[in-house]
């Protein structure tokens, strides 16, 4: 189980986001070089597992997941980042076959750009909590 899998499922299922970024360009891990823009990369920043002296069949984990938006213009970067925030904020339930999920907004990263190459980028972090078998 992973927070990345949960966030990828939420993003790929959101019609407003996939109208801007095709689901095939919403990737877990690093976006392959040469991928057309816009694209979205999803990575895990950290993970905390709740430990118990007498664990049961399931345990709760919380991941900090970073979603990085890459676009060819600053306005498109901001529009996609807004769609990412909307697609994932305040989600609960079973997502991508994972139970006990809750997704909360965390911090938004700074703007990055290279005007020579036409590359604009910004990230949004989420706290993703879920239950998984021990």
Mean pLDDT for each consecutive 10-residue tract of the chain (134 residues)? 93 98 97 94 94 80 97 96 98 93 97 87 97 84
| Per-residue model confidence (pLDDT) at position 114 | 84
| Per-residue model confidence (pLDDT) at position 55 | 73
| Per-residue model confidence (pLDDT) at position 73 | 94
| Per-residue model confidence (pLDDT) at position 1 | 67
Which positions ≥6 away from 38 have C-beta within 8 Å? 20, 21, 25, 69, 70, 71, 72, 76, 77, 80
| Per-residue model confidence (pLDDT) at position 101 | 96
């Amino acid at each position: 189980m992973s927070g990345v899998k949960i966030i990828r499922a939420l993003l790929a299922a959101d019609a407003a986001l996939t109208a801007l970024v095709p689901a095939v360009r919403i990737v877990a891990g690093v976006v392959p070089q040469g991928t057309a823009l816009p694209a979205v990369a999803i990575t895990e920043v950290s993970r905390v597992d709740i430990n118990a002296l007498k664990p049961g069949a399931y345990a709760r984990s919380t991941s900090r997941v970073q979603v990085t938006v890459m676009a060819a213009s600053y306005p498109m970067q901001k529009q996609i980042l807004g769609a990412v925030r909307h697609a994932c904020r305040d989600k609960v339930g079973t997502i991508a076959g994972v139970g006990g999920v809750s997704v909360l907004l965390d911090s938004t990263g700074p703007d990055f750009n290279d005007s020579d190459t036409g590359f604009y980028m910004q990230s949004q972090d989420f706290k993703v909590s879920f239950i998984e078998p021990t």
